[in-house]
Amino acid sequence: MLLNLLPGWDSLRAKAEQFSEMHLDKLLHDPERQQKLMFSSLEHFVMDFSKQRLSSEVLDELIDLAKQAKVEEKIQGLLSGEIVNKSENRAALHTALRAPSAEECFLEDKQFNKKIQKSLNKMEVLIKRIQAKQWRGFTGKPIKDIVNIGVGGSDLGPLMTTYALKEFTAPDSKKLNIHFASSIDGAQLAGLLPGLNPETTLFIVVSKSFSTIDTLSNANTAVSWLKTAGADEALLKKLHFIGISSTTEKMTDWGIAKSNQLLFWDWVGGRYSLWSTVGFSIALQIGMEGFKEFLAGAHHLDKHLAETPLEKNIPVLLSLIDIWNCNFLRTNAHAILPYDGRLKHFHAYLEQLEMESNGKSVSVGNEDINYRTCPILWGEVGPNAQHAFYQLLHQGTESVNSDFLVAIKRCTGEARDVKESFAEHHSLNLSNCLAQSRVLALGSTALSLDEQMKLSPHQQYAGSQSSTTILIDQLTPYTLGSLIALYEHKVFISSILWDINPFDQWGVELGKSIANKIQPALQGEKLDYLDCSTSALIEQVKRTLAEAEQQS
């Protein structure tokens, strides 16, 4: 049912009018507020919603709204393998990818888990060959550099995770270098390849369909680069490429040996694929034991989602906070602010996860939606963001909801003086995280009255910007797995309330289709893109655009 037709909609709209005019300063004076709006029901995490512009009573009404939308029933449908991707007639089984055993898989088909484990076992064999220096290139030298070629979820998830977990690199992988290339313009490969040795470089080509133009264009460029070393193309593809796809036929046709092919399935959406063999680069870096810890953290969240009442169910509560901000308080911007440099790429990962999933305007029942769905996400590592767009958060005209993420404990370095130095860094980091969320909420009232009186109009902080603080005990493969799964499930819960399908992405297809039509026209005059004059290229582009406009 559409969100605005649920029985609780009108009551929440009325309360939103009251709370939209209420400054957070007044709400935060309640001495019991933090106790009511801080949750620790998820192991390793503390969720502080006290700086959100709502009350515990409003949160109770939002929970009732979730019950009206049959959230509990639909959670069980997702986990048990029901067809939740209606437009493509598929289940969404990413939770099955991280179940440690058939007994703990939520699906009735226990053979399903065995297929997944078989795929992961083959991945482990290939990883151990590389780590043991048994994988050798065309001249017999062991592999030293691995380049992951993918785009979207085949790039963003592995890139984000390997960067975040670099300090957990397995001993056997410490001398391996893992790189990523995704851009269709070739810029990443152009900057990367000159520093690599063709004899010792292995490429991981990741594409569910194995027909993604961006990915295959980069893969073909990698072949051309390898051929400059003088080896036969067929041999190069056999020794220097691993394919990860749902179609063995296309990998074989391209030239990848079957022994170097890893499978995942068409029911694995790209933005949920890092739990599968798409996570090859993650497992290569942190080792299979570390990767299993990563999967275990996500599975822990799956169990929390399945077994925890809505009142304490963290992904449900996180979703309801988003619904309250987006649909009732009309706050349509959402900033992701990790106070941890290891989460540098986390906001980019969430941008795809949330906006590709819930950026929809048609309901599951094919009705036009007349309320907002997904907010606009962006973000940056907190200390960098403080010197960039925090100006807008503090004194701009936009209402923004923010997520602050920080690890409570951070240990780095072996020597005592190094640990003490990093402890000082972390203390400074924590204080900045907590201070910024406080000032966003309170504004200038965070200062004493005397200090407020000395401020000019340009120095005033309006405050009343909502935020959630997510405290993690420490960042490990296990807790990062939980954190990613937390946001995955939040996105799914929001989609239930918005009555949309979060598992398709038809919106990205039209641009690809038109690009496929324009490219042949741009190549029609056989222009040399290396040596042709800029003016000639401009004229060809202008003619192509004019022809395309006439055809449309």
Tens digits of residue pLDDT in 386-428: 999 999 999 999 999 999 999 998 765 555 555 666 778 888 9
Closest CA to 372 of 500, 242, 552, 261: 500
Q: What is the DSSP string of 361-375?
A: -B-TTSPBP-S--SP
Query: Mean pLDDT across the stretch 378-383?
Result: 96
Residue pair 244/167 in contact by the 8 Å Cβ criterion: no
Residue pair 481/294 in contact by the 8 Å Cβ criterion: yes
Task: Examine the residue annotation and report whether 334 is marked as an active-site residue of this protein.
Answer: no
Q: Provide the percentage of residues in the chain whose pLDDT is more than 90.
A: 77
Query: Mean pLDDT across the stretch 28-53?
Result: 95
**Residues 182/124/268/309 CA torsion (nearest 10 deg):** -120
**Residues 384/387/389/394 CA torsion (nearest 10 deg):** 120
Whether residue 434 is predicted with pLDDT greater than 90 in this model: the reply is yes
Tell me whether residue 290 is in a domain: no
Residue pair 324/372 in contact by the 8 Å Cβ criterion: no
**Looking at 356, 360, 488, 489, which residue is catalytic?**
356
- 104-112 contacts at long range (C-beta below 8 A, 24 or more positions apart): 104/299, 106/79, 106/80, 106/81, 106/302, 106/306, 107/80, 107/81, 108/80, 108/81, 109/81
| 312 plus 211 within the same structural domain | no
Residue with the larger pLDDT of the pair 418 and 499: 499
Residue pair 378/337 in contact by the 8 Å Cβ criterion: no
Closest CA to 164 of 300, 348, 304, 314: 348
Whether residue 156 is predicted with pLDDT greater than 70 in this model: the reply is yes
Task: Examine the residue annotation and report whether 458 is marked as an active-site residue of this protein.
Answer: no
Pairing of β 177-181 and β 83-85? unpaired
The domain that contains 107 carries what CATH number? Answer: 3.40.50.10490
Whether residue 357 is predicted with pLDDT greater than 80 in this model: the reply is yes
| 231 plus 312 within the same structural domain | no
Whether residue 530 is predicted with pLDDT greater than 80 in this model: the reply is no
| 491 plus 480 within the same structural domain | yes
Query: Mean pLDDT across the stretch 317-335?
Result: 97
Q: What is the DSSP string of 437-505?
A: HHHHHHGGGGS-HHHHHT--GGG-------EEEEEES---HHHHHHHHHHHHHHHHHHHHHHT--TT--
Task: Examine the residue annotation and report whether 356 is marked as an active-site residue of this protein.
Answer: yes
Give pLDDT, residue 514.
76
Tell me whether residue 373 is in a domain: yes
Mean pLDDT check: name the lowest of 45-59, 167-181, 243-257, 529-543: 529-543
Tell me whether residue 73 is in a domain: no
Contacts of 258 (CB under 8 A, 6+ apart): 248, 252
Tell me whether residue 451 is in a domain: no
103 burial level (CB within 10 Å; 0-12, 13-18, 19+)? exposed
Task: Put the strands of the sheet holding 376-379 in their side by side order.
Answer: 38-39, 45-48, 467-472, 400-407, 333-338, 376-379
| 313 plus 199 within the same structural domain | no
**Looking at 114, 141, 175, 512, which residue is catalytic?**
512
pTM score, whole prediction: 0.94
Give pLDDT, residue 485.
98
Tell me whether residue 40 is in a domain: yes
- C-alpha–C-alpha distance, residues 466 and 453, integer Å: 25
Residue with the larger pLDDT of the pair 133 and 532: 133
| 24 plus 110 within the same structural domain | no
Residue with the larger pLDDT of the pair 274 and 102: 274
User: What is the chain's alpha carbon radius of gyration, rounded to the nearest angstrom?
Assistant: 25
Q: How confident is the model at residue 430 (pLDDT cuts 50, 70, 90)?
A: very high
- C-alpha–C-alpha distance, residues 236 and 392, integer Å: 51
Mean pLDDT check: name the lowest of 95-99, 419-423, 473-477, 488-492: 419-423
Whether residue 99 is predicted with pLDDT greater than 60 in this model: the reply is yes
| 371 plus 475 within the same structural domain | yes
Tell me whether residue 447 is in a domain: no
Q: What are phi and psi of 139, to 5 degrees?
A: -105, 5
Tell me whether residue 545 is in a domain: yes
| 36 plus 110 within the same structural domain | no
**Looking at 258, 387, 454, 526, which residue is catalytic?**
387
Which residue range(s) make up the domain with 199? Answer: 96-284
| 112 plus 245 within the same structural domain | yes
- The total of structural domains in the chain comes to 3
Residue pair 276/97 in contact by the 8 Å Cβ criterion: yes
Whether residue 461 is predicted with pLDDT greater than 60 in this model: the reply is yes
Residue pair 455/395 in contact by the 8 Å Cβ criterion: no
Domain end among 284, 316, 337: 284
Strand ranges in 253-372 using DSSP code E only, listed in sequence order: 261-263, 333-338
Q: How confident is the model at residue 330 (pLDDT cuts 50, 70, 90)?
A: very high
Distances in Å between the Cα of 518 and the Cα atoms of 186, 525, 544 are 19, 13, 7
Domain end among 251, 284, 317: 284
Whether residue 528 is predicted with pLDDT greater than 70 in this model: the reply is no
| 533 plus 483 within the same structural domain | no
Whether residue 542 is predicted with pLDDT greater than 90 in this model: the reply is no
| 346 plus 370 within the same structural domain | yes
Whether residue 522 is predicted with pLDDT greater than 80 in this model: the reply is no
Q: How confident is the model at residue 305 (pLDDT cuts 50, 70, 90)?
A: very high
Query: Mean pLDDT across the stretch 351-371?
Result: 96
| 130 plus 267 within the same structural domain | yes
Tell me whether residue 380 is in a domain: yes
| 494 plus 512 within the same structural domain | no
Q: What is the DSSP string of 384-417?
A: HHHTTTHHHHHHSS--EEEEEEEES-----SSHH
Whether residue 384 is predicted with pLDDT greater than 80 in this model: the reply is yes
Mean pLDDT check: name the lowest of 194-203, 210-219, 320-329: 210-219
Query: Mean pLDDT across the stretch 83-106?
Result: 92
